[in-house]
Each structure stands twice: as structure tokens, then as C-alpha cells.
Structure 1
Amino acid sequence: MTFAPDALAVAPAASIRRAESAPALAALLLFGLTLFSPAVLNDGDTFWHITAGQWILAHRSAPSVDPFSFTFAGAPWTAHEWLSEVLLAGAFAAVRWSGVVILTGAAMAATAYILIRRLIRDLDGLALVSVAVLGLGLQLGSLLVRPHILALPLLTAWVVGLFVARDEERAPSFVLLPLMTLWANMHGSFLFGLALVAPLALEAFLAAPAEKKFSAARQWVFFGLLALGAALLNPRGIETLIFPIRLMGLKSLSGVKEWQPVSFDHVGGLELSLFALLGFTLRRPVHVSLLRVVVLIGLIYLALQHSRHSMLLGLVAPMILARPIAKAIGQPKLAPSRLSRPQIAVFSSLFLICAGIRLAAPIQRENAPMSPVAAIATVPAQLRDKAVFNDYSFGGFMIFLGIKPFIDGRADMYGDAFLDEYDRIVNGDAMALDNALSKYGIVWSIVRPTDPVAKLFDTRPGWIRVYKDDIAVIHARKDGLAPGTHQ
């Protein structure tokens, strides 16, 4: 897939002015897509994030030790995304699952609006649509009810603020600093925001006249130090800066799909974006400053190494490339006019209608791969409070129900050693399973029928199968059950 340069070059002034509604239209489309896509709830971590938010609201502080699992009960753990979790818990308390989806949709809408508002300074017509679709399309693979989505508007606004400062040859506005504080309390991606200051500060230094180089560098360094201070305004202090680095250093993350490298076994959003960029640059001269090329290459590397980082590439790359693409196709740079009051009224009404439809048809959580509703409903009361071995993806749902799991999605707390032990068990290592049953006093289990460990439980002396469906199978020790409690 490549851009058609001649078509992209057609951009009369009248067309450019019509782009004033593009940000609101993009925001509305992303809002509606999020609200009515069942896939946004296809993540087991959503459950424990909401529960963590409820815990924080109930205790009026972020936890310092694990209150949810039985294997790591009392071990050091802090909800580093505590503010996002409080927002999710608040939305859930207000209107249940429809609330958390609407909150997520609002975050996606704000992200789209901020990004497109930036792009229409340079692009219009097919060029704008192409860049916007490719950039926003990279957000869809990880569009889930999770803290990283709630932080996206802050990420986008921060990056826009830095690039605007460079365009206007000044230091970034101090108005950005509260965004950094919020961001640092919502998601670990704030570390990228801090890191981006460095190459842009160096760019400002190199681009400034000789007599102003020191002043330019001093302003950006001062802003960077203030931004670092703003990030440290969180319950964990400097530990918040270290956490994202420690998390990405976990070897066990390679078993999580969103942290795996791009496989290229099919053509997806990232592949299309890279093909489009390659095709366009082979047809038209695109001039990007060296330091921004370095940033762009770094983002591509991250996206190839961890598919999750495609979202970051999709938001930042369009801001780097918009002006070079506009120059390559001859589009003038015009400041778009703002929406009129009637247009604002129309778009506001459409947003409210979408939210109203979602509320009128409340989301009900049913039996699903991340929420084994039917299986959990059959667990005898005498087992629920006892030690359990569970599938990794079921842990969040169990926490949500008040059942302490063996494991859940908080890989940062469990660490590589424990996760390696879990992997050996779930993949059918009989010795590892027997060691865990003895070490942790496990009385029952809930795993996927396709997991090799499910067959091991069928052969454990003194264990019986209690329940099985297409999503989960439950086993229990005979001496922990009332007579006749099995299939």
C-alpha cells in the first residue's frame, strides 16, 4: 500500500478550511467505535483494575502490599496506575460496565481530537485522511478498558505541546506540567514523555543562532527538570520512574501477546503504516530533521519489539511527518477556523446520543474466555475461600469476585521466577504441579480445558473433576468437597 502523491497534492484553500470539522468527526467515530465494540472488554486485567480502584476509594490510599492474591498476600505492591483505577471504579459505580466503556470511549475521542487538531495545521483532504487513519488505526489493536487508554489524551497533548514549542522556537509551556503529574499517576508511559524532552531540547540548541544557543538549552533543561519534579508527585516517588524500566525488563513478558514482537505472519495496521511510509518516501522527497528521524526510528523499533508500542508510534509519528509530507505534496500551512456554535451543538448532541444508546442497552458480562461466569457459579461455597490454582487470564475476574487467585495479570509483582514456575505447571510439568500443590496447600483449580495441566489434574490422586465447559474446567481435592460434588 502506498500513497498516491498526485492525489494527495490536490488541496485548495477552500478544502483546507473545511477540515475544521475533522477533529470532532474523528473523535465521534472513535467514541462510537469504542462504545459498541465488544472487544474493548476482552481483557481479564480490567476486572482487577476496577477492584483496585474500589479498594483505593474504600481505604482512601493506594495499597502498599498485595491485598488480592493468596500467593503474594502482604508482599510489596502499589497500584502504580491508581488514578486510572479510581476513574474506572467511579465509572463502574455510576453505571456499571456501560460506564467504564463510555469513560474509555471519551479517552479515545479526546485522543483523536487532539491529534487531528494538530494534523490539520499541515494536512487536508486525502493526505489528512490517510495519515489520520493509519495513525489512529494503530490504536485499535490495544483498544481495551485499561489504564493505558485513559492516559492517551495526556500523552497526545504532551507531545503536541512539545512540538508546538519547537515550531514556535520557544520553551514548552508550564501548562504542560500538571499533565505530567496526572500522567505519572495514571500510566507508566509517562516515562516516554520525559524522554522526548531530551532530543527536542538538543534540536532547539542546534537550531538556535550562536548567541541564543545557551538560552535555548537552559530553557529546555529547566522545563525538563520541572517535568521530572511534576512526575515525582505520586504515591511512590522515584519508584514510579523505575517501575516501567523494571517491567519491560521482565523476561516473562514474552509470553504476553501485547509484549511480543511483531510476527509479520499477516498484514496488520503496523505493516500497512510502514508500507505506506516507505512507498511515499520513494515517490516524494520527505525531509525530516536528524533528531526527529532518530525518534521515529526508535518508535518503529519499539513497535516491532513489542506490538503494544504500535499505539505510541501511531500517535507520535504523524506529528513528526505531517509537515514534511505537506511540503512534499505542496500543501500550504493554514490555521483552520474553529467550529461554529451550530456545529458544536450538532456534535455534542451526537456524542450524547451515542452515550444514551449505550446506557439504554446496558452491557452484561456473560461467559467469556476472560470471565468464566458459568464455571465460577458452580464452585462450592466451601472451596471459594481456599487456595486455588488458576489460569493466568482468570485471575482478574476472580479478584473482582472476591476470590484470592494463585496468579493474575500483575506480572510486575509476581516476577520472573514465580511466572516461570507457573508456566512449567500450566504446560504440564507434573513435578512442578505436585510441588505447588504441597507448597501452597492448593485445594481446587480452575484452568482452561486446553491447558496441559488440566489433564494432569485428572490424574492426581485424591482429586476429582467438579465442572467442565468450553471455557474452564474445575478440579478439587475429594477431602475438601461435600459428598457427590462432581460431574
Structure 2
Amino acid sequence: MPRAYRLLVFLILALAAIAPLRNYDLFWHLATGRWIVEHRALPLHDPFALASARVPWINGEWLFELVAYALHAVVGLAGLSVARGVLMALVFALASDGTPASLLLSAIGFAGAMPLFDFRPASFAALLVVLAMRAKTPLAHALVALVWINVHPSALLAPVIALCLTRNAKTTLASFAALFVNPFGYRALLAPLSLASFVSGGGFVNAEWLPSPPLVFPLLYVSIVVALVVFATAETRDAGRLLLFALFAFLAVRYARNQPLYFAAFPLLVAPHVRRIPAKLAYAAAAVVVAFAALVSEHRPGLMRGRFPVDAVARLKASPLRGNFYNADQFGGYLIWSFYPQRRALVDGRNELYRAFLPEYARAREDQRAWNALLRKYRVDLAVDEYLPPLHVIDAGSGRARDLPASLAYWPRRDWALVAYDDAAMVFARRAAFGAELSKCEIRGVVPDARAERDR
């Protein structure tokens, strides 16, 4: 394919991939980058959350966090949306070698990755998957692995890629050895295995670590079937590519978060075995696939509407209320970015730092006394909570079952005042912790989650 056409493909993909930022973890990544810049060091322990364990923090994404913080300082959140589009275009433009079959498979990969691709370490890891698969020399494989292990723990795949695609011991060993060039040594290699074991234990639910349902991600399963047909009918057999494809497919099916890695590898692994496809047919099909992916996606830069408590936090910032937060874990990063170090959030999305807290939290959600004890333990005076379904309770007076808005159960208005809310969250303040300033902030006569339930 001529260079001008390659540039055109890249620009089309970049425009199609510009989308609102939706990953909750973005903000604790930005906060970590800020902390590293301010302290000129990596944090040994988590400095942010109230409930995190006092254990060494093996932060294998520190290099991404530095880059993200520096880029955000220049272009802001809207610019990060554009950067997301450029990154995604780069991944899938490089995943195509310019042949009609490769271009079509890259378009399928682009469409498949669209729902979960965001400005996050795993998306940069998708680029490194492509670079590792295109690397030609031991030095190139080693350099990719070195960068990768400091961006995302999926770097454990780097020597596997080298082994399956080159079958060369020197190249594989170079890639493996480069993984140890990180601030944490061998612990950076063990941390992702420990986390995978922890999240698979069933003690809590993280949607990204759940399997990929076929009805939610049909293109994943369609692409796997297509690949298996291609491998089965190929004129030549390549056991290394087949094994590598099986590994990426397993990881994507087992954990939804791995789908961008799979779709980045998909065209590079499958295209060499595709029999000749008419060029016009392949180009037309690729255009349709990319157009469909673009049409079903939102393309407004900045944050996704209603996903982050932007308005509620702005109101809280403008208030005189101070104190530690209880928060739904998905809001932790945004609160850390917005308020640290003046106010501290309870939790965020770094599951590995809350091994002791998560069982304690699960018990507290089921027992009023344990719930109040947990809030006292962490000296919580403010709460930023999500909208939850109503609770089924028995009325103490009549003995009848009824639905109670969850906020009235967890934040009873005799003890907690509603001070802000928006489409994402509600903010409450403990009455006993604040004086006259609370009366100026309180929103009376409104139960936002009851209203939200009525509007559904």
C-alpha cells in the first residue's frame, strides 16, 4: 500500500477513535504521576487512600503515569481524548502490513477493541504487543520488553511473543532479561500473577476481571471463529502463531480487560495465513466495519457524561466542608486527583491494595453496626456514593415489606445531610462533624436515588 494511503488510513482511524474518557482509573494514574513529579521518586507505599494496606506498592505502570501527567498538563482532558484516538489508530495502522487481508483484519480488530480501548496503560500495552510482534532483532525485542514492563504488567507476554514468533533462544532470553529492568526487580513479574489469583478468588467483583460474555462482545467470538477457520484451511501450518493466538484468545475470553491486547495481535497473527481476498472486497468490507464502529460510538472529547461526579465534586470544592471521604471505589481516583492531600478518599480501583479491607467492607454493607464502626474507624465525615437499587426492608411499625432508597439506609438524614448530587453520585456530610456551615450547604427535601428510580 502506498505511503499516502497508509497515512489516510491512520487519519481515518484516529478520527473514528476520538471518544470521551471513561476509565475510572485514569485519575489515580494522573495523581500518581503528579506525586512522582512533586517528590522526584516513586511512592514506596500508597500515599492516597485511607483503607489501603501498608504494604509495598509494586506500581508497574509508573512510566505511563509520568507520560500521562505530562501530557495532561499540556493538552488537558480533551487532549487526552484525542490522544486516545491517535494511540488507537497507531496500534491498528501498525497491525496492518498493507495487504487487503491485513487491512480487513485490522479493521475488525479496531472495531472489536473500541468498547474497552481508552487512555490507560493497557492500551499502551496493545501498542507494545504490535511492536513486539514486529520486532526483528534481539535488541528490538529487549527494548520493547524494557519499556513494556514499566508501562503495564502484561509485559510478561513479551518473551512468549519472542519465543513463539522467532523460536530463537537468544531473542527470547533477551526479552525475558529485559523484564527485570524496572524499579521493583523480580517483584514486578510476580505482582500481576498474584493479582490475577486474588481477583479470581471471588472475594469481590471487578467487571474488568470477569469473563467476556458473547452477547456483550460478539465480535470477539466471531473473530476467534474466523481465525480458527483461517488456521484450519491455511496451506502452511505455523504452530508458534497458533499457540500465541490461542493464548491471546484465552486471556480475552477469561478476562474482558485483555480484549485490546487480543485485538491488537489478531491481524498480525491471522493475516499471513489468509488466502487471497479480492482487494476491492477487502477494502470495502474494512470501510464498512470501521464506519459501523465509529457510528455506534460517541465522539465528544473530554469525560463521558454521567460517569464521573464532576458537578457534585465542583459543588463540594466550593463548600467549606472538610474531612475524609467514604466513596464508591470507582470514584476514588477522581476524588484523589481532585482533593489529595487536603482530603483523602477511602478506596479506589487498585484492588491489590485492599486485600484486608474488602472483606471488612463486604461485612459492613450487611450489618448496620459494622457499617457505623467502619465509618468511625476511618474518620469519615463526607461520603460520595453511587446510585444503588432500593433496599427491600420490613417496616418496623406495620411489619410490611417496602422498598427504601439505599441512600436513606446508608446515610440516614438524621445523621447525614445531602450537600450535592449529579447524574453520577450523591454527596453527604456528617451532621455531627460540621456546624453552621452545613446549613448553608444542605439540600433539603430531595432524595436523588428515589428520583432516579422513578425516572427509569
Q: Distance in 1 between matches of 2:234 and 2:178?
A: 40
* 1:276-425 superposed matches below 5 A: 276-277=226-227, 284-285=233-234, 287-326=236-275, 329=276, 368-378=306-316, 381=319, 383-384=321-322, 386-402=323-339, 403-415=343-355, 417-425=356-364
| Cα shift at 1:261 | 0.6
1:181 to 132, 136, 146: 146
* 1:64-463 superposed matches below 5 A: 64-72=44-52, 75-117=55-97, 120=98, 123-124=99-100, 127-161=101-135, 165=136, 172-200=137-165, 204=167, 220-251=168-199, 255-266=205-216, 268-277=218-227, 284-285=233-234, 287-326=236-275, 329=276, 368-378=306-316, 381=319, 383-384=321-322, 386-402=323-339, 403-415=343-355, 417-425=356-364, 428-450=366-388, 454-459=407-412, 462-463=415-416
1:477 to 430, 440, 443: 430
Q: Distance in 2 between matches of 1:458 and 1:89?
A: 35
Counterparts in 2 of 1:270 and 1:472: CA distance versus 1, 3 Å:
same
Q: 2:442 matched to 1:486?
A: yes
Identical aligned pairs, as a percentage?
A: 24
Q: Distance in 2 between matches of 1:110 and 1:438?
A: 49
Secondary structure in 2 matching 1:93: helix
Counterparts in 2 of 1:221 and 1:281: CA distance versus 1, 3 Å:
closer
Q: Distance in 2 between matches of 1:152 and 1:290?
A: 22
Q: Which runs of 5+ in 1 are unaligned?
A: 1-17, 166-171, 205-219, 333-360
Counterparts in 2 of 1:191 and 1:424: CA distance versus 1, 3 Å:
same
Counterparts in 2 of 1:323 and 1:409: CA distance versus 1, 3 Å:
same
Q: Which moved more, 1:179-188 or 1:310-319?
A: 310-319
| Cα shift at 1:318 | 2.1
Secondary structure in 1 matching 2:72: helix
Counterparts in 2 of 1:270 and 1:19: CA distance versus 1, 3 Å:
farther
Q: Which runs of 5+ in 2 are unaligned?
A: 280-298, 392-405, 444-456
Q: Which moved more, 1:234-243 or 1:286-295?
A: 286-295
| Cα shift at 1:74 | 5.5
| Cα shift at 1:390 | 0.5
Secondary structure in 2 matching 1:95: helix
Q: Which structure shows the higher helix fraction? A: 1
- Alpha-carbon RMSD across the aligned residues, in angstroms, is 3.0
- Specify the alignment match of 2:11 in structure 1: 28
Deviations 1:200-232 (CA, angstroms, capped at 9, x unpaired) = 46xx4xxxxxxxxxxxxxxx2233222222221
May I ask how many residue pairs the two structures share in their alignment?
401
TM-score between the two structures when normalised by the length of structure 1: 0.74
Q: Distance in 2 between matches of 1:387 and 1:42?
A: 25
- Aligned residues of 1:396 and 1:409 also touching (Cα < 8 A): yes
Secondary structure in 1 matching 2:384: strand
| Cα shift at 1:158 | 0.7
Letter paired with 1:405: A
Deviations 1:345-380 (CA, angstroms, capped at 9, x unpaired) = xxxxxxxxxxxxxxxx99565863223432552367
TM-score between the two structures when normalised by the length of structure 2: 0.78
Counterparts in 2 of 1:190 and 1:111: CA distance versus 1, 3 Å:
same
Deviations 1:33-87 (CA, angstroms, capped at 9, x unpaired) = 233x22xx11221111111111111222211111111223864324321111111
Letter paired with 1:64: L
